[in-house]
Structure 1
Amino acid sequence: MEEKPLLTFNSSRALLDVLIRAGLITVLVLFCYDIFHPFLNVMLWSLILAVTLYPLNQMLGAKLGGRDGWAAVILVILGLVILMLPLSLLGASVADSVQTGIHAVENGQFEIPPPPANVENWPLIGAPLYGIWLHASQDLSWAFHQVAPHLKDWSKVALHQVAGVGTGIVVFILALIFAGLIMKNGERGQRTAVAITSRVSGPVRGPQIAELCTATIRAVAQGVVGIAFIQMLLIGVALVIMGIPAAGVLALLVLLLGIMQLPVLLITLPVVIYAFAQGGVSASTIIFAIWMIIAGLSDNVLKPMLLGRGVAVPMPVVLIGALGGMITSGIIGLFTGPVILAIGYELFIGWVYQPAEAVTPLTQTVEEHSP
């Protein structure tokens, strides 16, 4: 009976020690996060690119005699050469389109031009399309003038998104370079990932979780975001070359539709009609129309090649990840958001449906340890 106060004192002291240690660890984690936060998007995008491209890096490294480092350098250089020109064109187009729209809203100069006369002679859709277009060109200006004062406050947000386009291109360059460094040390990184997940979830579940995360990243990055990104490049560059107004904005809409698994013909078909209405039937407009149709249907060829690898993530999860990522992280969030949310979804579902293991009941454990 006399040992109870001493036992209580020791228990309280042990609890206090645990709380102090937990507090110090929390403070350290917060400081580390605050320091690392500016580089978070870059490192996330680097890791996603590295995991996605690592099989290709291994294949190229085997052909180079096991030189994975040189294979990573070649992939990074090829990526920069192939992607930087289209991304620069689309980024400049987005910036010009948004700035022009902001100036039009602020100055009250927004208007829709009247339709060309030959639109009325188109079969089937010519007459109704001409009437709707003409009415919009005559009446929409007044309606927009009424709404314009309320939209001026959004100009700062739009300018911030324009700045985010340029930042996203810079982040992509840095992420691709860092991804090359990660791929160079791919085997060590894989062992580290397995060690971390094993430390968190145990030696049995740890390797499974690491494999699940890898499969999820590749499935979403290749089968969903990758296909949408390829379509955006194919269609966006053609829009810029053809001189279509707001080409960069339309390319971003193509990216969103691709992530949503909706047909991008919803964008390409009206653009083709607009091109024929402005330029008439010529060799350039016919080639443009054929290219847009092929690019719009390219997902039917790419999906069997890329989709279905690894795990199947519901499309609402991917869509919410894309929209939420864009809101929180700008343009780069369109790519990182779906992947991160898909990983969280798969881990949660895997935890929910994890088979019940042979766990000793709590009452039995207490009885075994009781004197």
Structure 2
Amino acid sequence: MPINIDSPLARRVAALAFLILIFGLTYWVLSPFFASLAWAGILAYVTWPLQQWLCQRLPERQNIVALLMTLGVAATLLLPLVWVMFTVAMDVSAATATIKQIMAHGLPPLPVGVNAWPGGAWIVGQYQRIQGDPLWLLAQIDALGLTDVASLKGIAGEVGRNAAKFGLAVFALFFLYRHGFSVLAQFRGVATRWLGEAARGYIQSVGVTVRAVVFGIVLTAVAQGVLAGLGYWVAGIEAPALWGAITALVSLIPFVGPVVWIGLSIGLLAHGETQAALGLFLWGALVVSWVDNLIRPLVISGPTRIPFLLVFLGVLGGLNAFGLIGLFLGPVLLAVSVAIWREWSVHARSK
């Protein structure tokens, strides 16, 4: 039986196939840039109040405002990052020299006082076993990749790719500042057409969650890294900037940051520096962890009205699924899911 291509069903099928083809190819073309565009959107949203303030001070100067905001955000992010990179590079050089010394001469002996610790005899025994097996120690150092030229080249290549993504994000940021209202209005119109008036609540949930995650996760992690780095410097830890940067990165995952400063406190105690170890431990417990355990849950759970456990799971799941940008995408997806669930619950009770 011949197919009537002029029938309404055939035209709808053809139109649907055409849309799938066009949007599929569009996704394929833009997929390498999604992370950069997502970062640009997050930065634009978080700094939008400042952009509005500048627009009021410089009316009819949208291009100048967009340029000033883009340069300001880029400098705010880039200058501290460059300083940290140079400082960490110097600390990595010192750490590399220490690793080379360990590779050449083996691990240094433990302080005598370790025997007096609870379980100290076991610790000494395990340490001596590792110390007496230089091949095992070399294998663990090689596993870190710090002495492998290929691994170092791979790290350098990854840094270069991330720098390119950052440049693209900054480039896109200018156009978001310039045409942000138009883009948001079009997005709201399309979302409302497809999802109804409930789309406005979903969009609001996304915005509130992004702002809460930025201030509740990223900025608190940076604050913990800075405070912890200060404590490392006062305690006499070698390479305090490096360890501070590591603490900040680890602290992006809630409640994991203490692993770093507790480990360093134990290291100081093992070398007989009891006062420095106690001071660092108290600094971490009373100051650094206070930011993690009190401020972060309040900043996140307050505005979003989402249990902190869900945000925590969203951060972990987002990191696993999407990489670093998953810090925001994971909690945002959960926020939209919670908003939809609450809307369904309200409709269910009203019936």
Which of 312, 315, 322 aligns to 1:315? It is 312
User: How large is the Cα RMSD of the aligned pairs?
Assistant: 4.8
- Report which stretch shifted further, 342-351 or 211-220: 342-351
What is the TM-score with the length of structure 2 in the denominator? 0.69
Q: Does 1:345 align with 2:345?
A: no
Q: Is the 2:58–2:65 contact (alpha carbons within 8 Å) kept by the matching residues of 1?
A: no
Give me the whole-angstrom Cα distance separating, in 1, the residues matched to 2:134 and 2:144: 14
- Where does structure 1 lack aligned partners over 5 or more consecutive residues? 327-333, 359-371
What is the number of residues matched between the two proteins?
Answer: 332
Which of 182, 187, 209 aligns to 1:188? It is 182
Alignment of 1:1-371 (within 5 A): 13-59=7-53, 61-62=55-56, 64=57, 73-88=67-82, 90-91=84-85, 93=88, 109=103, 113-115=107-109, 117=111, 120=113, 131=124, 134-135=127-128, 137-139=130-132, 141-144=134-137, 160=154, 163-202=157-196, 204-232=197-225, 235=228, 244=238, 248=242, 251-252=245-246, 254-256=248-250, 258-272=251-265, 274=267, 294-295=287-288, 297-299=290-292, 302-303=295-296, 306-307=299-300, 308-312=302-306, 313-326=310-323, 334=324, 336-355=325-344
Q: Is the 1:235–1:292 contact (alpha carbons within 8 Å) kept by the matching residues of 2?
A: yes
Q: Deviations over 1:213-269 (max 9, x none)?
A: 21222222222233224434665698799884696587346423x233115222123
SS of 2:304 mapped into structure 1: coil
Q: Is the 1:91–1:248 contact (alpha carbons within 8 Å) kept by the matching residues of 2?
A: no
Amino acid at match of 2:315: V
Q: Is the 1:90–1:236 contact (alpha carbons within 8 Å) kept by the matching residues of 2?
A: no
Give me the whole-angstrom Cα distance separating, in 2, the residues matched to 1:357 and 1:126: 60
How far is 1:349 from its partner?
3.5
Q: Is the 2:225–2:248 contact (alpha carbons within 8 Å) kept by the matching residues of 1?
A: yes
SS of 2:108 mapped into structure 1: coil
Cα distance, 1:192–1:17 mapped onto 2, change above 3 Å: closer
What is the TM-score with the length of structure 1 in the denominator? 0.66
Amino acid at match of 2:177: M
SS of 1:354 mapped into structure 2: helix
How far is 1:42 from its partner?
0.8
Amino acid at match of 1:201: L
Q: Is the 1:111–1:137 contact (alpha carbons within 8 Å) kept by the matching residues of 2?
A: no
Q: Is the 1:322–1:337 contact (alpha carbons within 8 Å) kept by the matching residues of 2?
A: yes
Cα distance, 1:23–1:189 mapped onto 2, change above 3 Å: closer
How far is 1:10 from its partner?
5.1
SS of 1:182 mapped into structure 2: helix
How far is 1:143 from its partner?
3.5
Give me the whole-angstrom Cα distance separating, in 1, the residues matched to 2:239 and 2:9: 66
Amino acid at match of 1:216: T
Give me the whole-angstrom Cα distance separating, in 1, the residues matched to 2:233 and 2:272: 15
How far is 1:319 from its partner?
1.0
Q: Deviations over 1:137-170 (max 9, x none)?
A: 5146443567789998xx7678645532343244
- Where does structure 2 lack aligned partners over 5 or more consecutive residues? none
Cα distance, 1:120–1:162 mapped onto 2, change above 3 Å: farther
Identity, in percent, stands at 19
Q: Is the 1:324–1:337 contact (alpha carbons within 8 Å) kept by the matching residues of 2?
A: yes
Give the aligned partner of residue 368 of structure 1.
none
Give me the whole-angstrom Cα distance separating, in 2, the residues matched to 1:11 and 1:68: 50
Give me the whole-angstrom Cα distance separating, in 2, the residues matched to 1:121 and 1:198: 67
